[in-house]
């Protein structure tokens, strides 16, 4: 398979939408979990604030991102995807995302199960950029571990 053009990723409707209209951009006060991640290689930054409800599920998320489109779109998608999950479930989703990006070619069922995040499977064609899609998730995992 020929490597795709990076422009295809930037033109992807789902990725473009999250890039232009990031979800949950308001910084939360008094969060239960705070996580900040930086990738100095391309200037990507991820800042997450998470509030848990009385059952220990993610009830609110604040997400602020800097840097490339892949990083910012992934953070926006993550901020939606983890709502309602327990920290364990969020870590499981992170595992599934890592598998999609770094494991064998994902099946249509795997992609469908990941919702908007499945659109990032295209980034597999650009190995150098995979870490841009993983920063938000590794930042989340650091936050979950320190909670």
Site residues (CB under 5 A) for Zn ion? 42, 44, 68, 71, 132
Measuring CA to CA, which residue among 20, 11, 102 is closest to residue 65? 20
Closest approach of Zn ion to the CB of residue 73, in Å = 10
How many Å separate Cα 105 from the centre of its chain?
Answer: 19
Q: Is the dihedral angle over the CA atoms 106, 112, 114, 117 positive or is it negative?
A: positive
Of residues 37 and 87, the one with the C-beta less far from Zn ion: 37
Tell me whether residue 59 or residue 126 sits nearer to Zn ion (CB atom).
Answer: 126
**Minimum distance of Zn ion from residue 30's CB (angstroms):** 30
CB of 58 vs Zn ion, minimal distance in Å? 25
Query: Which of 71/94 has CB closer to Zn ion?
Result: 71
Taking CB atoms, the residue at the shortest distance from Zn ion is 132
CB of 68 to Zn ion, least distance (A): 3
Block residue for tokens 């990941």:
114
Q: How far is the CB of 93 from Zn ion (least distance, A)?
A: 21
Considering beta carbons, is residue 23 or 131 the nearer one to Zn ion?
A: 131
Q: Which is nearer to Zn ion, 73 or 100 (CB)?
A: 73
């Amino acid at each position: 398979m020929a490597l795709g053009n990076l422009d295809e990723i930037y033109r992807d409707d789902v990725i473009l939408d999250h890039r232009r209209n990031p979800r949950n951009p308001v910084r939360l006060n008094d969060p239960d979990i705070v996580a900040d991640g930086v990738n100095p290689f391309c200037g990507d930054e991820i800042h997450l604030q998470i509030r848990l409800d009385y059952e220990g599920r993610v009830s609110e998320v604040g997400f602020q991102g800097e840097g490339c489109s892949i990083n910012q779109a992934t953070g926006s998608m993550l901020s939606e995807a983890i709502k309602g999950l327990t920290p364990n479930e969020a870590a499981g989703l992170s595992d599934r995302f890592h598998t999609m990006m770094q494991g064998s070619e994902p099946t249509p069922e795997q992609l469908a199960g990941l919702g908007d995040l499945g659109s990032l499977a295209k980034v597999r064609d650009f190995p150098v950029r995979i870490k841009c899609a993983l920063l938000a998730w590794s930042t989340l995992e650091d936050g979950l571990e320190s909670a």
